Amino acid sequence: MDISKAEQRVLHLLAQGGYILAEKDEDGRTLKYETITRDGWFWGGCSQQLFQKLKYRRLISSKNSGPYRITNLGLKRVRSQLDNR
Sequence ranges of the domains in the chain: 5-75
Q: How sure is the predictor about 1, in pLDDT bands with cuts at 50, 70 and 90? A: low
CA quadruple 48, 72, 39, 23: dihedral sign? positive
pLDDT > 90 in the chain, percent: 51
Q: How sure is the predictor about 17, in pLDDT bands with cuts at 50, 70 and 90? A: very high
Beta strand 60-62 with 42-43 is: unpaired
